[in-house]
Structure 1
Amino acid sequence: MRKLKYTKGIWVAAVAVVGLLGLSACSAPSAAPAASSQSTVDSGMTGMSMAPSGTAGQSTSAQAGAAATNSVAIKDFAFAPATVTVPVGTTVTWTNSDQDPHTVTATESGSPLRSPTMNNGATYKYTFTKAGRYDYLCTIHPFMTGTVVVTP
């Protein structure tokens, strides 16, 4: 009888530990977000409507480390690379590789850069038609931020 009670105690403790580990995976870091032109979504997910804020067209020394690519991975609660530099007319594609849903939303108010909620495997495409700096974030996890620098 005592052995059975002890065994139940171990299972209860194991379940509690697993539950705590699962909760710790839901936390992550914090920060800020902007863009222009047309966009397309390659998934059938519902969009989110949140008003972003920010400033497009600004230049900073952060551009020095910008990646020359038109693909951004969403993985481990981050946009990678965090900054991309592309010429005007380029379509940038974001792909969600996380199990959690994410968005790509400009920080500049009124900017059309605004994806729907993207689940795992979903992509979002946006074509930049004007030169400038476009900051964006995930509205679900605002600490996730990125920048697209569009050159003439």
Structure 2
Amino acid sequence: MGLFDFARNIGKKIFGKEEEAPAALEQHINEDNPGVSGLQVQVQDGVATLTGEASSAEALEKAVLMAGNAMGIQEVKADGMTIADGSQVGGDDEFYIIEKGDTLWEIAEKAYGNGSKYTKIVEVNREVIKNADLIFPGQKIRIPKDI
């Protein structure tokens, strides 16, 4: 499962019917705007297509995760997004899909050898993880290599 693929039947419930999805996802992303402008979202058959400009690859990745972690979305396409600073998506960061029984402490132990560094994972995923105690199986997050 790549960065742009998600589990359609899990996630945060942001919209009811698919025709409500574009406006709901735009609002959701803009509420905690990770650095995107001119954002437009289209959704068809569980596939969200994002267009606009991201200030960086990190901003684009966050927008993709915000859209993809919504219930009803199975894929996010971002070919219509430009990246202002010229950075590349998927640079040094890794992406992790939370499994049943996972805790952020355990994820940080695996990634960094130190569970107390889970706060850094929360910090770089603040748009996706609103409460460190409320993560769910299937949720996709960024695991930065440099902390």
Instruction: Give the TM-score of the pair, scaled to structure 1.
Output: 0.24
Rg comparison, structure with higher value = 1
Name the structure where strand makes up a greater proportion of residues: 1
Instruction: Give the TM-score of the pair, scaled to structure 2.
Output: 0.24
